[in-house]
Amino acid sequence: MALKLYHAPETRSMRSLWLLHELGVPFELITMPFEHTYLRTPEYRKIHPLGRVPALVDGDMTLLESGAIAEYLCERYDPGHRMGRPLGHPERYAFLQWIHFAETVIIPCQNMVQQYVFTPAEHRAEMVLYFETRRLGKCLDMIEKQLGAGEYLLPSGFSAADVGVGFSVYFAGAFVSFAGHPKVAAYRDRLMARPAFQRALPPDRKPLEWFIPKLGPVRDPNTGQPV
């Protein structure tokens, strides 16, 4: 089996794992804890020099960015274009924009993880948490508007763009309330109900259980304040 995914549960690599399950592509999964003792070994750094996930290996090619992996899998393993929107498709460029907007959504979450999980409480910066919460709220505003009266980001329906953004929205729920974004909340619930999403979750623990106990209160994304 040539296709191989290096993955840490409920991190960015979940996008790639979820998409592989949606595509029904045979692949080998190498799961590692989200810990430096596993990710920063000399052996793994030969695959990913930064010691991060995901890493997708297909024969003699390795890809390290989840957006690039999504584009590649859709072009290489989705001949019916269920998940991708090929060159010439009227939604092609909107598809690409949303594939990569997934990172815009996850960056504020990443910065808050650094504050809550890796920074001692006495050195935690409340202003960082405030500004990143507000930044995340603006991302949710944009998704709320895009959903409009539809169920997914593109008018034609579910795609790999929803996988990328959907993971980010799922992760964002650990930090902010969706009370002011009802369409985003319904979108998250629809995506989480998909069998491929469920298969991408770790089987031995509750969603986001690995770090939620380390976080502070859920915040209002419009005010940045705890709710």
Q: What is the pLDDT of residue 204?
A: 82
146 and 184 housed in the same domain = yes
Final residue of a domain: which of 77, 101, 116? Answer: 77
Same domain flag for 67 and 120: no
> Where among 49, 77, 105 does a domain terminate?
77
Cα–Cα distance, 80 to 6 (Å, whole number) = 26
pLDDT beneath 70, residues of the chain: 1
The reported pLDDT for the residue numbered 1 is: 58
The DSSP bridge pattern shows strands 55-58 and 3-7 to be antiparallel
CA distance 185 to 58: 35
Distance CA 199, CA 203 (A): 8
Predicted confidence (pLDDT) per residue in 132-176, tens digit: 999 999 999 999 999 998 999 999 999 999 999 999 999 999 999
Nearest to 15 by CA among 53, 66, 78, 81: 66
Q: Crossing angle, helix 13-23 and helix 160-172, to 10 degrees?
A: 140
142 within some domain:
yes
Domain co-membership, 20 together with 46: yes
148 & 67 share domain: no
Sort 74 into a burial class: Cβ within 10 Å, 0-12 / 13-18 / 19+. buried
pLDDT on residue 177: 95
Please indicate, yes or no, whether residues 114 and 210 belong to a single structural domain of this protein.
yes
Q: Tokens representing 181?
A: 């974004």
The answer to whether residues 73 and 99 touch, using CB atoms and an 8 Å cutoff, is: no
Question: Do 97 and 59 fall within a single domain?
Answer: no
- Per-residue CA distances from 173 to 37, 109, 131, 167, 218 (Å): 28, 10, 17, 10, 8
Residues 121 and 62 occupy one common structural domain: no
Are residues 108 and 201 both part of a single domain?
A: yes
83 inside domain? no
Query: Is position 63 within any domain?
Result: yes
CATH number at residue 139: 1.20.1050.10
In a domain, 82, yes or no: no
* CA–CA dist 74, 76 (Å, integer): 6
Structure tokens at 162: 């929803």
Which domain covers residue 42, as residue numbers? 3-77
Boundary-marking domain end, from 25, 46, 77 = 77
Q: What local confidence, expressed as pLDDT, does residue 213 receive?
A: 78
Whole-structure pTM over 0.75, yes or no?
yes
Tell whether 145 is covered by a domain.
Answer: yes
- Domains contained in the chain, number: 2
pLDDT at residue number 209 = 83
End-to-end CA distance of the chain: 48
Q: Tell me: do 9 and 120 sit in the same domain.
A: no
Q: Within a domain: residue 222?
A: no
Closest-CA residue to 31 (of 18, 45, 14): 14
For residues 111 and 208, membership in a common domain is answered with yes
